[in-house]
Amino acid sequence: MQLYNNLSAKERADLIAQAGEDRLTISFYAYAKIGNPELFRNHMFLAWNELDVLGRIYVAHEGINAQLSVPADHFEAFKAHLDSISFLENVRLNIAIEHDNFAFLKLKVKVRDKIVADGLNDDTFDVRNIGVHVDAEKFNALIEDENTVLVDMRNHYESEIGHFKNAVTPDVDTFRESLDIIEADLKDHKEDKNLVMYCTGGIRCEKASAYYKHKGFKNVFQLDGGIINYVRQINEKGLENKFIGKNFVFDQRRSERISDHVIAQCHQCGNPADLHTNCANEACHLLFIQCDACKEKMENCCSTTCMEVIQLPYEEQKELRKGQGNSNDIFKKGRTDHLPYKKDLRNIFDVLEK
């Protein structure tokens, strides 16, 4: 059995280009008890590999979290396979607004301890006692209520390029950091405020809502299907769009534009910009925001040091990387000292004016 990719990313990209067929970018998640994640992982890989599905999928005892690229012609077969699995039957599929045939170039199904790194001990609270799911229309009404606190459950580099109006955007690098910070800052409002949360596709809010109910919050709501599903609903129903900027996504596209607003700035020159890039120096690979002018001037690098490295022969670059792990800067997502216009630290309640 082939349980691994036999093509490189470049070879796969060439095949996709030659085929000239449309692909759909899809994400979904499901919390469920999976007794043998390794066996389940192998089953999914074999089935999806046959359908030419590509993407990044995490499987754990607690469920599955998937971001995928599916050939449009194979969508019905893909859906039929999901429906053949009891806990995935009729699972909500978040289909991207903007498609990119090259969003994913390999099929990676990995077994993890958690499908989202939340740092929580699930045995200490009822993970099934989640908040109220609300659709786009109810969400729009809730966030206009003066008794509502709207919280973005994503990381700083995601909310930096786009978020809902008047949302609290915790200045955190990871989801697990935000959980305790939000509870501490809202400790005096556990009974008198609506705690309304949103994230990209809904998975982070699913766990967070149960955690906050366990911590004593009485009125907990979550945007059903996250930003991706919200945008689809407002387009289909003609609702007011209350999201400004772009939605960060975890594939080659890096983002989807939701409104025309550019709310971020280039981390190198300070001009308006909201396109993330990875530093061209493979030993760095830092994710940061770079405008077109700086991209050309800096040759897609985050610093002059990295520019010097990429001028070296490739074999020499490989020698420099040998035995070296990634710098901790790579985890700072654009907040390193050598980026003069990196996002400033701000208090959790520094929100946009209404």
Q: Which residues are catalytic?
A: 199
Q: How far apart are CA 342 and CA 340, in angstroms?
A: 6
> The tokens 């046959």 sit on which residue?
50
Closest residue by Cα to residue 67 from 236, 241, 173, 202: 202
Cα–Cα distances (Å) from 271 to 66, 133, 326, in that order, read: 35, 38, 29
Q: How far apart are CA 11 and CA 19, in angstroms?
A: 12
Contacts of 137 (CB under 8 A, 6+ apart): 233, 237, 239
Render 199-226 in DSSP notation, one character per residue: -SSSHHHHHHHHHHHHTT-SSEEEETTH
Alpha helices (H) along the chain: 9-19, 37-50, 75-83, 136-142, 156-159, 175-185, 203-214, 226-237, 292-297, 304-310, 314-321
Output DSSP code: residue 272: B
